């Protein structure tokens, strides 16, 4: 939030202190207070990255009339402690003379997780919540679609835990200035359970814990705070990016809030995990806390409590669409792929394709389909809308494309795909993507979905894939493209095709997918559009 956090009318008083835990270490804590204010509402941020990084935000809140408590967590991997430690921190705040009884929680990424952990223990004291680029279930992003998020898990573990030999890594293309990019041969190392040693020369406990426990392991249950949003009445603001790896999961949180009846707002724009617009974040979060914590703005005027539930800054240009209630009124655009690689509404298919036909492609784990436009940490050289043309030229990727659009096509809402498919391997993945094809031939990724399957080999099935929310304007003259493949490595770990474990698997087996196409098959993608479907 730093560049968006301009100071307001208050001067700031800063106190450095420590907060002892009953059965643990003392946590370094910095308190920012509005000078001259005896009591005020309090904003709490708990961070594993060193609290100095959050000082600009602490100053921002104090300069706008809030106390701000910025606290170090035990470590960058102390996620199992955050609910208890956060509850102790709240109890400490309640004992302070400057606390007026109103508490707001906020933060990005891990800080957002820490805020949700506190809300899970002390919803009675939380007046408002504003989280960014992290969902309520800590493990959803670790195991997207049932796979292992290899890029996220190995990269994060190396960043946070490695004390080995980083000089062994290349220096180009780093995710941050202090850590070089992980070589492809590490991501393809077998067994995967030893890739950490191949990278750093030492085992990384955080990484191995991810591989030892799968997505359905009860080990992770204490980190699932989705019930907080499902049942609480805490007014909650969610901010995310269309190219953040939490996009689908934060949208699910937004839907949970709709079921709880709590005041909610969802803001999403053309950003990655590391490129949120700080001005948007500052403006939205301040307005949310002024509305639901103070109840008045800085001039003591009552604040409108009927803000739109969703503010979508559409890709590619950031055009703003606000929806007073969600979902907005849309029409379902159902597109069907054809063997000639066209993508139509299906009416033409009834005459040009009187009988069902099959299109096949093979996923080979020894040459895994690469990820394009995907990076967990938002590497500016990798994440976001990227040209998929080289990817789509591969034999293991199939694409289906509409004719050029006659008018703009504005798509807002939930996208779902169904693949009527027969696979030769019981263990396989399916990756589905929507792309925007420009008049000059670039194919730019918009959204995607993924699923890992364990099915009977050779059994025909309708496979349903959640592509999450979309907010995109396909301009006149552009084309809509459906892209299908068997993976996106290393964003998702490659499926070895053998059912062996992440820890010990060393053998591989390819999989051929037979996609059934035709007017009576289930293969289709459904996209919600806000303007009439007359673009074809």
What are the tens digits of pLDDT across the range 384-433? 999 999 999 999 999 999 999 999 999 999 999 999 999 999 999 999 99
pLDDT of residue 352: 64
pLDDT of residue 14: 85
Lowest mean pLDDT among 5-19, 161-175, 197-211: 161-175
pLDDT of residue 95: 95
Residue 535 has pLDDT above 60, yes or no: no
Could you tell me if 33 and 67 are in contact, meaning their C-beta atoms sit under 8 angstroms apart?
Answer: yes
Lowest mean pLDDT among 169-173, 273-277, 346-350, 490-494: 169-173
Ramachandran bin of 518, using left for φ above 0, alpha for ψ from -120 to 50, beta for the remaining angles:
left
Does residue 349 sit in helix, strand or coil?
helix
pLDDT of residue 2: 42
Task: Classify residue 137 by its DSSP letter.
Answer: B
Could you tell me if 385 and 374 are in contact, meaning their C-beta atoms sit under 8 angstroms apart?
Answer: no
Q: Which residues make up the CATH 3.40.50.1820 domain(s) of the chain?
A: 2-138+224-323
Q: For 348-391, write each residue's pLDDT tens digit.
A: 666 566 678 999 999 999 999 999 999 876 566 788 999 999 99
Which residue in this structure is represented by tokens 């080979």?
364
The second-level CATH assignment, the architecture, of 331-529 is Sandwich (2.60)
Does residue 171 sit in helix, strand or coil?
coil
pLDDT of residue 165: 42
pLDDT of residue 35: 85
Which residue in this structure is represented by tokens 């393809």?
188
How far apart CA 239 and CA 252 sit, in angstroms, is 13
pLDDT of residue 167: 38
How many percent of the chain have pLDDT more than 90? 76
Mean pLDDT of 319-343: 92
pLDDT of residue 37: 78
> Among 136, 131, 139, which residue's Cα sits nearest to residue 104?
131
Mean pLDDT of 463-487: 97
Q: Which residues make up the CATH 2.60.120.260 domain(s) of the chain?
A: 331-529
Mean pLDDT for the chain overall: 89
How far apart CA 252 and CA 256 sit, in angstroms, is 6
Lowest mean pLDDT among 62-76, 243-257, 378-392: 378-392
How far apart CA 399 and CA 510 sit, in angstroms, is 20
Residue 342 has pLDDT above 80, yes or no: yes
Mean pLDDT of 490-512: 96
Mean pLDDT of 275-280: 94
Q: For 103-159, write each residue's pLDDT tens digit.
A: 999 999 999 999 999 999 999 999 999 999 999 998 999 999 999 999 999 988 888
Strands 99-108 and 67-72: unpaired
pLDDT greater at residue 305 or residue 12: 12
Mean pLDDT of 249-265: 95
**What's the CATH fold of domain 2-138+224-323?**
Rossmann fold (3.40.50)
What is the band of 36 on the pLDDT scale with cuts at 50, 70, 90?
A: confident
Measured CA angle at 476 (ends 475, 477), to 5 deg: 110
């Amino acid at each position: 939030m730093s560049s968006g956090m301009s100071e307001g009318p208050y001067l700031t008083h800063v106190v450095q202190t420590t907060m002892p835990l009953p059965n643990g270490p003392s946590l370094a804590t910095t308190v920012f207070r509005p000078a001259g204010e005896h009591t005020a509402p309090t904003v709490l941020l708990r961070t594993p990255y060193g609290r100095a990084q959050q000082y600009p935000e602490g100053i921002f809140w104090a300069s706008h009339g809030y106390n701000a408590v910025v606290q170090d967590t035990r470590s960058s991997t102390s996620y199992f402690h955050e609910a208890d430690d956060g509850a102790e921190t709240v109890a400490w705040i309640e004992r302070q003379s400057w606390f007026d009884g109103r508490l707001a929680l906020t933060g990005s990424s891990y800080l957002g997780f820490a805020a949700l952990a506190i809300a899970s223990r002390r919803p009675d004291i939380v007046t408002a919540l504003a989280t960014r680029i992290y969902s309520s279930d800590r493990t959803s992003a670790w195991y997207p679609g049932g796979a292992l998020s290899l890029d996220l898990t190995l990269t994060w573990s190396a960043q946070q835990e490695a004390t080995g030999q980083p000089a062994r890594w290349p220096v180009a293309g780093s995710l941050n200035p202090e850590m070089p990019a992980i070589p492809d041969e590490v991501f393809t190392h077998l067994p995967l359970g030893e890739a950490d040693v191949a990278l750093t020369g030492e085992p990384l406990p955080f990484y191995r814990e991810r591989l030892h426990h799968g997505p359905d392991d009860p080990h992770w249950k204490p980190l699932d705070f989705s019930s907080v949003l499902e049942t609480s009445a805490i007014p909650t603001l969610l901010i995310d990016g269309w190219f953040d790896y939490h996009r689908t999961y934060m949208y699910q949180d937004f839907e949970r809030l709709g079921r709880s009846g709590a005041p909610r707002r969802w803001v999403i724009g053309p950003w990655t995990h590391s490129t949120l617009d700080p001005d948007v974040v500052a403006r939205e979060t301040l307005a949310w806390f002024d509305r639901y914590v103070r109840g008045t703005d800085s001039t003591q005027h009552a604040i409108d409590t009927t803000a739109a539930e969703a503010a979508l800054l559409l890709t590619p240009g950031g055009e703003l669409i606000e929806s007073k209630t969600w979902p907005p009124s849309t029409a379902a655009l159902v597109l069907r792929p054809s063997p000639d690689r066209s993508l139509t509404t299906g009416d033409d298919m009834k005459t040009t394709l009187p009988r069902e036909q099959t299109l096949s492609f093979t996923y080979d784990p020894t040459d895994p389909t690469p990820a394009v436009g995907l990076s967990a940490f938002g590497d500016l050289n990798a994440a976001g809308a990227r040209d998929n043309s080289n990817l789509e030229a591969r034999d293991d990727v199939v694409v289906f494309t509409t004719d050029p659009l006659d008018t703009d096509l504005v798509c807002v809402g939930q996208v779902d795909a169904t693949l009527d498919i027969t696979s030769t391997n019981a263990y396989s993945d399916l990756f589905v993507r929507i792309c925007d094809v420009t008049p000059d031939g670039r194919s730019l990724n918009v959204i995607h979905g993924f699923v890992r399957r364990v099915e009977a080999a050779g059994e025909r099935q309708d496979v349903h894939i959640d592509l999450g929310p979309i907010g995109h304007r396909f301009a006149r003259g552009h084309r809509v493209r459906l892209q299908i493949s068997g993976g996106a490595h290393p964003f998702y770990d490659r499926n070895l095709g053998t059912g062996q474990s992440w820890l010990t698997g060393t053998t591989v087996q390819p999989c051929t997918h037979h996609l059934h196409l035709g007017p009576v098959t289930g293969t289709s993608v459904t996209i919600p559009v806000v303007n009439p479907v007359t673009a074809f």
